[in-house]
Structure 1
Amino acid sequence: MLAQPLLDIAEELRKIDQEMAHEANKLEWMLEDLPESNKLSAKNFLHYLVLRKTPIQNLQYRLHEYGLSSLASCESHTRRQIQVTLERLGDPISDPCSCTAELGSRLIQESQEQLFGPVPEGWPTSVMVTFDRSFLDQPQLIASLLRHGMSVARINCAHDDEKIWEKMIQAIRSASEATGVNCKIHLDLAGPKLRTKLLKKGKSQGKVEVQVNGSVWLSESGKGFAEKDIVISPQESGVISSLKIGERVYFDDGLILGRVEKITKRGAKVKLERVSTKRQQLKNEKGINFPDSHLQISSVTEFDSSCLPFVARYADTLGFSFVRKPSDIVELRGKLARLADREVPLILKIETLEAVENLPDLLLEGLKAEGVGVMIARGDLAVEIGFERLVEIQEEISWLCEAAHVPVIWATQVLENLHKSGVASRAEITDAGRAALAECIMINKGDHTLEVLRSLKEITQKSRALKVKNHLIFRPLKIAEDFLTKNQSMA
């Protein structure tokens, strides 16, 4: 006979198990359009969302106290982990969940290899290297990159042109043939580029002085303003009409913060609340972020569409910038389907607050095709959600993706100091260690790419060996609660 505390634990676990079964059955309609190969992953994802909307912190502590699984690291096989724990308490399971720990791990590994190819020998993770046109003059460097761990070559379609991209791909294939090392081709769509363009004051200089409590105007045309007014175009139509009073606007990677104060026919007046730039200036071609706004602009620009024939011909995977909602995925896949008789796996770049909030919907839409991955684009994401929340949110994204058996690319500023100067900072070594837990690590451009690969290999090997020390406490996730609440009414 079990002691009363263990009986109480078993009762709580049974309730969670029953709720998982109930919710998954109720939301079965959401899985109808998924290929059979992805339905098990999607169902495990729904089980995980149920777990993460439930306050189980106290239960986890009690499980740990009695030497049972605390449910940490159960993302890939959530319901089965609950059932196995019940079995340890002598509670037989009549209908065991088929998504076991072994199967969940294998499904993630298979998805990883599908997107990024086999993991390089001696590495715990795949590595994506951003290509620069200067590599075209250095065939030996490309060969060395392959020998030192590059398994995916990233070409950013925001730079250069199709002739250069094709030359890069040919150079990669030549080096791959010479070294015997396979390399996937990843093309990144540019997406909407929300950047400043001064229309009045400061136009000729390309910069203007700004100050706290001062104002700037957002306008597409600049019509109706005086030359002394600070008027900025975001260079994308449909942005300003989407704004509402009180919504935040960030300029220059978050260094300048404003809030929409007034909206008129001419544009939107933004009052500045923080100016952290050294010279109190705002320049042309600086990024703009609208974290509170639901922008009525297409995630697939005209330029992106013009790149798709090239993508359909050459890409092993395609990076989807500025994806925010499931209809964005439907739109891009529809355009690609008209150009190719094969599916090009999408890598969803999570770089806006709206994308984070819609992540469960994005993952389920992504699973409607055989191959899908997620890139945590930490640069824009940090501006959108606030630097203080980045650690929390990047972990939540990783957990949700693991539950859906969707591979993750860890991107932005990985060993950036080492890459640019040849000397690493202490903080970025720790960050690179965390990157080892992702299925792929992306490194950007720099003068010391080989040094980065050498250091990254050693860091990731040692970090992955310590992964077993993780002990996670699951507070309820608002993302999970919002998704389940929203879809209950549709069941």
Structure 2
Amino acid sequence: MNQDLDEIREGLIKLESEMSHVDQVYKKLLKTIHLNHKSSAENFLKYLILRKTDIQHLQLLLHKNGLSSLASSESHIHRQIQVTLERLGQDFLENQKETIESGQSKIRNASAELFGKPQKGWSSSVMVTIDSGFLGERKLIRKLLEKGMGIARINCAHDDEKKWEKIIELIREESEQSGIPCKIHMDLAGPKIRTNLLKKGKEKGRVKVKTGDKIWLSDSGKGFSEKDIVISPNEKGVVQVLKIGDLVFIDDGLIEAKVEKLEDGNAQLLILRNSSKKDRLKAEKGINFPDTILSIPALTEFDRECLPFVVKHADTVGFSFVQRPTDLQLLKGEMEKISPNTPAIILKIETKDAVNHLPDLLLEGMKSPWFGVMIARGDLAVEIGFERLVEIQEEISWLCEAAHVPTIWATQVLENLHKSGVASRAEITDAGHAVMAECVMINKGDHTLEVLNSLKEIAIRTHSLKMKNRLIFRPLKIAGEFLNQLDQSLNH
């Protein structure tokens, strides 16, 4: 037993010592952080130190000896290590001020700034997608507010400014009359990489493809016959950066293909799998390139055109397909040109590149007074692979909690219930995870009120499980890579 305690003490002292120097080692970086996030940035960097280290054996020893296994300590990791060492007789000249209470308080305060306070009976705020179809449904808007909606989401990829203005006017009127606060969130459309049939199937907007077929990706379609299946990604520069072997997913991953040949600026794809109904490839379906670093700007010309309206009316703005800190700097700069008072940015994490750069993105976000993160699981699942979604969405949640950044759990929450009125067993479990985030986003559907009823019931029943138990901390690759790059930049 004493040998165990000696090993525990040695492992924790090493971690505590490294964390104690964060404020000096990363002094230059921490100077750029907004005052609201100074201690949060330090806690985040300390958490990255923990997660770059393999502590699985240490955790087992901690658990075996009845000590904290460091689970659920994201928001106050340094103090948790100190407290554990104190139980082993270790004294500290300076105790860390970031405790479980202060860490959770910072997350709650940030969430209240972004989403407002959750309604009575809810552990999370609720965001509901609203479009022009709601304009004749004033009573429904009132019911949504009464059932828990605290944020109305407008997707700028749909409708137009006149309709957005009417939607916002309706929401604000019903919010004022009911006395129920409701914020306005607007999602920028982002790059629209979608299928455009150039040859075969062009007139009908669909074409039959099966496993083993070969089709072409091309910007122009020139040099092909009308019998060839040729699709354009609708964004210049995509085809040119593809490499042989790169995977391509079409229609939310229903069709999987890989680049087999590059010829005259075009790319030939081999269809590896087609899980769509009737083996059809349709026009206007999304295309994902998970293996390819695209040079497409995250802020499109259409987004720029929308910004004056968004800055004037929105409380928060969703940055679709943000991938790197420079993207965030660009959006902040463009909004500040319009007004000194800009909406808080919600980073929509929906690409492999965004996941890989999440530490950079969070620290860049901390240069602003408030910001949040949306775990946009639709495109994210296609980009990283459906099998990895559970793992990655948890990792995003851990990192955001360590940075005291509120998260929005989005995409297909109670989707079957929303569309058909009947929930599947699997999505009830998923909803249980959803209500552990600071905000839950639901899309539009025919059974929105039923979804809100079910979500509230799930929230009540799972509220006591809010603190999640995580026994095993395997090393996080993105934590190690980020700190290595950061240390290299500081040494030059």
When normalised by structure 2's length, the TM-score is 0.97
Which residue of 2 is the match for residue 444 of structure 1? 443
Task: Verify the 8 A CA contact 1:212 1:273 in the aligned structure 2.
Answer: yes
Task: Verify the 8 A CA contact 2:23 2:30 in the aligned structure 1.
Answer: no
Which residue of 2 is the match for residue 268 of structure 1? 267
- 1:279-305 deviations in Å (ceiling 9; x for gaps): 222110111000011100100111110
Which residue of 2 is the match for residue 478 of structure 1? 477
Distance in 2, matches of 1:441 and 1:282, equals 32
Out of 265-274 and 474-483, give the one that drifted further.
265-274
SS of equivalent residue, structure 2 residue 277: coil
Out of 468-477 and 231-240, give the one that drifted further.
468-477
1:258 and 2:257 equivalent? Answer: yes
Distance in 1, matches of 2:351 and 2:392, equals 11
Tell me by how many angstroms 1:469 deviates: 6.2
- 1:233-280 deviations in Å (ceiling 9; x for gaps): 001112112222221111111111111122233311222222222322
Out of 267-276 and 429-438, give the one that drifted further.
267-276
Task: Verify the 8 A CA contact 2:218 2:230 in the aligned structure 1.
Answer: yes
- Paired AA for residue 369 in structure 2: E
SS of equivalent residue, structure 1 residue 72: coil
Distance in 2, matches of 1:472 and 1:320, equals 33
- 1:465-484 deviations in Å (ceiling 9; x for gaps): 13356243111111111111
Task: Verify the 8 A CA contact 1:256 1:277 in the aligned structure 2.
Answer: yes
Which residue of 1 is the match for residue 391 of structure 2? 392
Task: Verify the 8 A CA contact 1:317 1:346 in the aligned structure 2.
Answer: yes
What are the residue-to-residue correspondences of 1:238-257 with 2, within 5 Å? 238-257=237-256
Tell me which stretches of 4 or more aligned residues in structure 1 moved more than 4 Å. none
Task: Verify the 8 A CA contact 2:59 2:471 in the aligned structure 1.
Answer: no
Which residue of 2 is the match for residue 38 of structure 1? 37
Aligned residues: 490
SS of equivalent residue, structure 1 residue 489: helix
Distance in 1, matches of 2:142 and 2:210, equals 50
Distance in 2, matches of 1:265 and 1:78, equals 54
Which residue of 2 is the match for residue 173 of structure 1? 172
- Paired AA for residue 286 in structure 1: K
Distance in 1, matches of 2:460 and 2:375, equals 21
1:142 and 2:156 equivalent? Answer: no
SS of equivalent residue, structure 1 residue 490: helix
Which residue of 1 is the match for residue 225 of structure 2? 226
Distance in 2, matches of 1:55 and 1:307, equals 46
What are the residue-to-residue correspondences of 1:369-448 with 2, within 5 Å? 369-448=368-447
- Paired AA for residue 263 in structure 2: T
SS of equivalent residue, structure 1 residue 368: coil
SS of equivalent residue, structure 1 residue 279: helix
1:306 and 2:310 equivalent? Answer: no
Distance in 1, matches of 2:484 and 2:213, equals 41
- Paired AA for residue 421 in structure 1: S
Out of 125-134 and 204-213, give the one that drifted further.
204-213
Out of 107-116 and 204-213, give the one that drifted further.
204-213
- 1:72-115 deviations in Å (ceiling 9; x for gaps): 00100111111111111110011222222111111000100000
Distance in 2, matches of 1:459 and 1:267, equals 50
Structure 1 residues 370 and 469, CA gap change in structure 2 (3 angstroms): closer
What are the residue-to-residue correspondences of 1:114-129 with 2, within 5 Å? 114-129=113-128
Distance in 1, matches of 2:237 and 2:23, equals 38
Distance in 2, matches of 1:376 and 1:267, equals 33
Task: Verify the 8 A CA contact 1:23 1:50 in the aligned structure 2.
Answer: no
Which residue of 1 is the match for residue 289 of structure 2? 290
SS of equivalent residue, structure 1 residue 298: coil
Distance in 2, matches of 1:164 and 1:278, equals 34
Task: Verify the 8 A CA contact 2:171 2:182 in the aligned structure 1.
Answer: yes
Which residue of 2 is the match for residue 80 of structure 1? 79
Which residue of 1 is the match for residue 99 of structure 2? 100
- 1:442-464 deviations in Å (ceiling 9; x for gaps): 01001111111111101011112
Which residue of 2 is the match for residue 214 of structure 1? 213
- Paired AA for residue 175 in structure 2: S
Kindly, what percent of the aligned residue pairs are identical? 60
Distance in 2, matches of 1:272 and 1:139, equals 47
Out of 353-362 and 4-13, give the one that drifted further.
4-13
- Paired AA for residue 73 in structure 1: S
Which residue of 2 is the match for residue 318 of structure 1? 317
When normalised by structure 1's length, the TM-score is 0.97
Structure 1 residues 242 and 24, CA gap change in structure 2 (3 angstroms): farther
Distance in 2, matches of 1:354 and 1:333, equals 20
Task: Verify the 8 A CA contact 1:124 1:460 in the aligned structure 2.
Answer: yes
Gaps of 5+ in 1: none
Task: Verify the 8 A CA contact 1:73 1:472 in the aligned structure 2.
Answer: no
SS of equivalent residue, structure 1 residue 338: helix
Tell me by how many angstroms 1:23 deviates: 4.9
Task: Verify the 8 A CA contact 2:186 2:310 in the aligned structure 1.
Answer: yes
Out of 162-171 and 257-266, give the one that drifted further.
257-266
What are the residue-to-residue correspondences of 1:36-75 with 2, within 5 Å? 36-75=35-74
- Paired AA for residue 133 in structure 2: S
Which residue of 1 is the match for residue 466 of structure 2? 467
Distance in 1, matches of 2:3 and 2:93, equals 24
Structure 1 residues 246 and 27, CA gap change in structure 2 (3 angstroms): farther
Out of 267-276 and 172-181, give the one that drifted further.
267-276
Task: Verify the 8 A CA contact 2:151 2:185 in the aligned structure 1.
Answer: yes
- Paired AA for residue 123 in structure 1: W
- Paired AA for residue 121 in structure 1: K
